[in-house]
């Protein structure tokens, strides 16, 4: 199992925690934040190999967060994970540089596969 630094951005705290725990079990180091602004700050402070971003955040909408993250660190890999993203959201996100668009409920193995594929491509 490869070692990634992950950032999970989701306003639903228990979901984010649970996801972090599951990925932790698979040897991934996860950081969690529950709103858009702190996520942007965190990205400013440190580099993450993958950012998992929810679209519906209490302060900022996911697409905006994505754009700001991309503005700071264009090489960051962002995977959108949303409960009810629309086709329009998907197109907007892909246009802004997101690498994948996934729906909740999540199949964790699929997430890992996608991350692996992205990593190999980036490396």
Partner 1 sequence: MMISLKEMWAAIWPSFRHKDDEHLNTYYTFHDYRQLWGMGIFVLMATALLPLVVMTFIYYQLLEQSINSESLLRTERVTSNARRAVTYFLEERLAALTFTVNEMSYDRLTNPEHLRDVLSNLKLGFGGLTDLSVIADDGTQVAYAGPFNLEGKNYSDQPWFQTCKQHGACVSEIFSGYRDVPHMVVAVKSLYPDESPYSDGRFFILRATLETERLIQMLASYRTGEHADIFLVNHAGVLQTPSRYYTGASNRVTLSLPSYAERTHAMMALDAGGRSVVIGYAYIDTKIASTTFILMVVKERAAMMKVWLELRHQINWFLAVSAIIIAVVMTLTSTYMVKKIFHADHEKARTMLMAEQNCRLASIGQLAAGVAHEINNPLALINETAGYVKDLFLIEERYKDDTEMVEHIDSIIDAVERCGTITRQLLGFARHFDVQVQPVNLKRMVDDVLSFHKKEAEYRNIAFHVDIPNSIPLIETDRGKLQQIILNLVNNAFQAIDNGCFLKVWAETDEAEQVRIFIRDNGCGISKDHLNKIFEPFFTTKKEGKGTGLGLSITYGLVQKLHGNITVQSQTGEGTTFVVTLPVHMEKEVQS
Q: Contact positions toward partner 1, by CB under 8 A?
A: 12, 14-15, 18-19, 21-22, 25-26, 83-84, 86-88, 91, 103-108
State in angstroms the smallest separation of the CB of 81 from partner 1: 9
Task: Provide φ and ψ at 29, rounded to 5°.
Answer: -90, 115
Closer of 65 and 92 to partner 1 (Cβ): 92
State the Cα angle at 28 between 115 and 42, rounded to 5°.
Answer: 85
Closer of 41 and 107 to partner 1 (Cβ): 107
47 cis-preceded (ω within 30 degrees of 0): no
Closer of 34 and 76 to partner 1 (Cβ): 34
Q: How many helices (H) and strands (E) does the chain have?
A: 5, 5
Token pair of 70 as six digits: 């991309």
Closer of 63 and 76 to partner 1 (Cβ): 63
State in angstroms the smallest separation of the CB of 8 from partner 1: 11
State in angstroms the smallest separation of the CB of 91 from partner 1: 8
Decide the pairing of beta strands 77-82 and 50-53: parallel
């Amino acid at each position: 199992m490869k070692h990634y630094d992950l950032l999970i951005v989701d306003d639903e705290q228990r979901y984010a925690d649970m996801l972090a725990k599951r990925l932790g079990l698979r040897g991934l180091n996860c950081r969690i934040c529950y709103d858009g602004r702190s996520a942007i700050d965190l990205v400013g402070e440190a580099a993450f190999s993958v950012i998992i971003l929810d679209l519906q955040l209490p302060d900022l909408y996911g697409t905006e967060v994505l754009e700001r993250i991309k503005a700071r660190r264009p090489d960051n890999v962002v995977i959108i994970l949303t409960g009810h993203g629309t086709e329009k959201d998907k197109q907007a996100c892909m246009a802004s540089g997101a690498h994948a668009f996934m729906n909740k409920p999540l199949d964790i193995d699929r997430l890992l596969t996608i991350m692996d594929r992205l990593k190999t491509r980036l490396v």
